[in-house]
Amino acid sequence: MNALKKLFGGNTRQFGMIFALVALIVFFQIFTGGRTLTPGNVINLFNGNSYILILAIGMVLVIIAGHIDLSVGSVAAFVGVSVALAMRDWGLPWWAGVLFGLLLGAVIGAWQGLWTAYVGIPAFIVTLAGMLLFRGFNQFVGKSNTIPVSKEFQFIGSGYLPEVGPDTGFNNLTVLLGLVAVAFVVIMSLRARATNKALGADVPELWVEVTKLVLICGAILYATYLFATGRPGTSFPIPGLILAVLVLIYGFIADKTVLGRHVYAVGGNRHAAELSGVQSKKVNFMVMMNMSILAGLAGMIFVARSTASGPFDGVGWELDAIAAVFIGGAAVTGGVGTVIGSIVGGLVMAVLNNGLQLLGVGADLTQIIKGLVLLAAVAFDVYNKSQGKRSITGLLLKNFGRNNELKPDETTSTKEVISKEA
């Protein structure tokens, strides 16, 4: 048990979610008679959820900073219809359409950021207004019609990695991508281990590290196999690729950059952050603006996938994105959350959706189950906090082994200090 604990130690809450995700996949794989982990189904799952996952990346930053964004679905729809119109009526090429969409997202984000950060209106209100505003704009500029988009543009939503090189029976580029991912994971974790060792920080035992790596790489390779062996013409989907790149970029920003640190600081304790020289208004503006840019991107991907923009695109997306973030371990009060966690949270919802569909469960029951899962995940989190614990796995393993909690109040006694000083 201690070994298990070590293996899933570190960021325990996140590993708890990964646990849940794996359990869910195994469950559905068994009960759907193997229909879950087929190339076709997995590709579908990614295609149908990548835009929600992209929203979740932006949403987790918003939520870490202590806000919320209810407008993402409407913003996505408005950007989608605007881009479709711009390409049809102004004859913009697909790449210019994408740039235009991102720019429009930035402008909308600046608008919402302005109200939230500089005027000081709670993001809930600003984005509730935005939800109405941009839904209205979508139907106004699109005249509530369906507007088709070109084949080239459709590629960003429904394209796949092309076939290149010799016929190996696999999609070569997908295989390459999988191998690069494995190499990346191995090199990064070994480097981190070496660094920590050099600094004298605690490192887990070698076998723990190796087992962890084997498990992660195994999962990546298995996914690669699934993506590379789909029916002809399919392989790793382009939206999945965009998502992967965004996860890397935003994971890096959140974890390693000054801006990322500031987002966590503002969400964790705004006053303390301000008294440490963090410009909290700027930070709030940036996260709100970023969210709308990503919403614009998600909207475009959706339009590209469904080959046309429509008046009801993106309805309810905000709720899916927010749910993904909270299942992924973010705190309602801000300051806590990770990009990767939100992706896992989003995948939990996606797998649940997909699996229930495969089992032929109706939409009514699916919603009930999803609602319960969201509630349970957050309730667990709240319960853990009230118990002064942080991890789900810790909770599951509570009765096994010893709790190596540290004694908080070890302060040097006066005598000891005086004798040291002398």
Partner 1 sequence: MTSLDTQGDPILLEMRSITKEFPGVKALSNVSLRVMAGEIHAICGENGAGKSTLMKVLSGVYGYGSYTGDIVYQAETQQFKDIRASEAAGIVIIHQELALIPELSIMENIFLGNEPTKWGVIDWAEARKRSLELLARVGLREDPDTPIKEIGVGKQQLVEIAKALNKSVRLLILDEPTAALNESDSQHLLDLILGLKGKGITSIIISHKLNEIEQIADEITIIRDGKSIETLNVKRDGVDEDRIIKGMVGRTLESRFPDHEPKIGEVFFEVKDWTVGHPQIQDRLICKGSNFYVRRGEIVGFAGLMGAGRTELARSLFGHSYGRFIKGQVYKDGKPVNLRSVRAAIDAGLGYVTEDRKSLGLNLLDDIKTTTVSAALNKISNYTVVDTRKEFSVAEEYRKSLRTKTPSVEEGVAKLSGGNQQKVVLAKWMFTDPDLLILDEPTRGIDVGAKFEIYGIIQRLANQGKGVIVISSELPELLGLSDRIYTIFEGAITGVLDKNEASQESLMKLMTSARKTA
Q: Which residues bind partner 1 (CB under 8 A)?
A: 195-196, 198-202, 256-259, 261, 264-265, 268-269, 271-277, 279, 335-336, 406, 408-418, 421
CB of 267 to partner 1, least distance (A): 8
Q: Which is nearer to partner 1, 231 or 271 (CB)?
A: 271
8 A C-beta contact, residue 389 and residue 13: no
**Rounded distance between C-alpha atoms, residue 422 and residue 418, angstroms:** 6
Q: What are phi and psi of 237, to 5 degrees?
A: -75, 150
CB of 271 to partner 1, least distance (A): 5
Name every residue whose Cβ is closer than 8 Å to that of residue 298 and which is 6 or more positions away in sequence: 51, 52, 54, 55, 72, 76, 314, 317
CB of 30 to partner 1, least distance (A): 39
Q: Which is nearer to partner 1, 164 or 198 (CB)?
A: 198
Element housing 277 (H / E): none
Q: Which is nearer to partner 1, 144 or 196 (CB)?
A: 196
CB of 223 to partner 1, least distance (A): 29
Element housing 309 (H / E): strand 308-309
Burial class (CB in 10 A: 0-12, 13-18, 19+), 130: buried
8 A C-beta contact, residue 288 and residue 69: yes
Q: Which amino acid is at 122?
A: P
Q: Which is nearer to partner 1, 199 or 206 (CB)?
A: 199
Give the SS3 label for residue 102.
helix
Q: Which is nearer to partner 1, 233 or 277 (CB)?
A: 277
8 A C-beta contact, residue 176 and residue 163: no
CB of 191 to partner 1, least distance (A): 11
Closest among 228, 85, 98, 108 to 167, alpha carbons compared: 228
**Rounded distance between C-alpha atoms, residue 334 and residue 64, angstroms:** 4
Q: Which is nearer to partner 1, 195 or 367 (CB)?
A: 195
CB of 269 to partner 1, least distance (A): 4
Q: Which is nearer to partner 1, 196 or 387 (CB)?
A: 196
**Rounded distance between C-alpha atoms, residue 60 and residue 336, angstroms:** 9
**Rounded distance between C-alpha atoms, residue 147 and residue 80, angstroms:** 10
Q: Which is nearer to partner 1, 26 or 416 (CB)?
A: 416
CB of 420 to partner 1, least distance (A): 8
CB of 15 to partner 1, least distance (A): 17
Q: Which is nearer to partner 1, 271 or 402 (CB)?
A: 271
Exposed e or buried b per residue across 153-184, where buried means at least 16 C-beta atoms within 10 angstroms of its C-beta: bbebbbbbbeeeeeeeebbbbbbbbbeebbee
CB of 276 to partner 1, least distance (A): 4
